[in-house]
Chains A and B, each alone.
Chain A
Amino acid sequence: MNREKIFLTVNEIFREIFDDPELSVTDKTDANDIEDWDSLEQINLLVAMEKKFLIKFSVDDVENLQNVGETVDLIIRKIEEKGDEQL
């Protein structure tokens, strides 16, 4: 799965969590750009991403995430790590 596909899937997760089918995020989108994006919704987003991409985050992975782009990069890294473990 390439970055573009992952990004589109992440955007779908944002739409679902914030119940907004029109929502479009960018790499630079952060919690200041979405009114309801608080700590609880951050948990909901990350849990949804874990389930969707079949990955596991750690506290260290997620505590300093700044925006959507960093989150997508983290997902890519976790998918790659998972692939390495399976080799």
Chain B
Amino acid sequence: MNSYSYEELSVGTTETFEVEVTDEMLRAFCEMSGDVNPLHTDADFAKSRGFDSKVVYGMLTSSFYSTLVGVYLPGERCILQEISIKFRKPVYVGDVIRVTGRVIEKTDFVKRVVIKAFAENQTGVKVNTATISVGL
């Protein structure tokens, strides 16, 4: 786990990690959240809506932003304050998601940083983007 201090972070500091989305994650998220919408649980239903297969919950893939700030940037000292996410493309089971965050702004008197982040799949398609504010 990283442990950047506020002073160690600069505009431009960047961290990246990868994670593969599994069917087990989908089932666990379904059970945890209670979101039983068939778009996420029934491949035939998802196909009838124009998707390739079951669509991974947007909130599941966006949970990787929690990992980004809590483990990588800044890591241990992170207090997540705000996050705004745009869901751009569907994610499917088996996709390998690469999450990248870059510090774009620092506010010294409250030790807050703003991070622009995005998640892309194994073909380089951005599946979602986020703006995240964290305190340290």
Secondary structure dominating the interface of B: strand
Compute how far the CA of A57 lies from the CA of B108 in the bound complex, rounded to whole angstroms. Answer: 8
Closest chain A residue, CB of each to CB of B114? A47
- Among B67-116, those with CB < 8 Å from A are 81-82, 107-110, 112
Contacts of A59 in B (CB 8 A): 109
Most chain A C-beta atoms within 10 Å of own C-beta, residue among B107, B109, B135? B109
Whether B108 and A47, one on each chain, are in contact in the complex, defined by CB atoms closer than 8 angstroms, is: no
Secondary structure dominating the interface of A: helix
Kindly identify which residue among A43, A56, A58 contacts B112, using a CB–CB cutoff of 8 Å.
A43
A16 touches B (CB below 8 Å): no
Compute how far the CA of A58 lies from the CA of B109 in the bound complex, rounded to whole angstroms. Answer: 5
Contacts of A46 in B (CB 8 A): 109-110
Contacts of B109 in A (CB 8 A): 46, 56-59, 61-62
How far does the Cβ of A55 sit from chain B's closest Cβ, in whole Å?
A: 11
Contact with B along A50-73 (1 / 0, CB 8 A): 100000111101100000000000
Q: Which 5 A-B pairs have the closest CB atoms?
A: A57-B109, A43-B110, A47-B107, A59-B109, A58-B109
* CB-defined A-B contacts under 8 Å, sample of 7: A43-B110, A43-B112, A46-B110, A47-B112, A56-B109, A58-B109, A61-B109
Residues of B within 8 A of A (CB): 81-82, 107-110, 112, 135
